[in-house]
Amino acid sequence: MNFLAVDDNRLLNRFLTTYLRGKGHGCSSLSDSSKVLSWLDLNPCDAIILDIGMPKIDGISLTGQIRERLPLLPIVMFTGLGYDEEAMQAARKAGANGYVSKGLGPSEIYSALMRVLSQTTAQVA
């Protein structure tokens, strides 16, 4: 599976990219949310891990823009907000397929990500 990780925190992006590659996946990262749409025009990926709170374009707005172009691409929101019902509902309304907290450990983040992706794949099939 090939991922795009988008988070304005470069260290977190590097960690997530390294971790996913260590699990045998491809992973690219962007720290500038305004570059995501042009990146997607040139690079296919199987799923996006997208931070909710970013400068320039926040994750919820960006999810809506991605949905206009790629309605079936799985999008998992990645947030430091913990479990925030309002943010989670806004993310789902914008078209996100799932919601994962940055506060989880690496294996829990990976498990949650894989669970969301397996559910998304099952819905499309």
pLDDT of residue 124: 54
Closest residue by Cα to residue 37 from 65, 3, 5: 65
- pLDDT tens for each residue of the chain, 125 residues long: 899 999 999 998 899 999 999 999 999 999 999 999 999 999 989 999 999 888 999 999 999 999 999 999 999 988 876 667 787 788 889 999 988 888 888 888 888 788 878 887 655 54
- What pLDDT, on the 0 to 100 scale, is given for residue 66? 96
Q: Give the pLDDT confidence score for residue 119 in this predicted structure.
A: 81
pTM, 2 dp: 0.88
**Whole-angstrom Cα distance, residue 30 to residue 112?**
21
CATH class of 2-124: alpha beta
**In the chain, domain spans:** 2-124
Q: What is the pLDDT of residue 60?
A: 92
> Which residues, 6 or more positions from 14, have their beta carbon under 8 angstroms from its beta carbon?
29
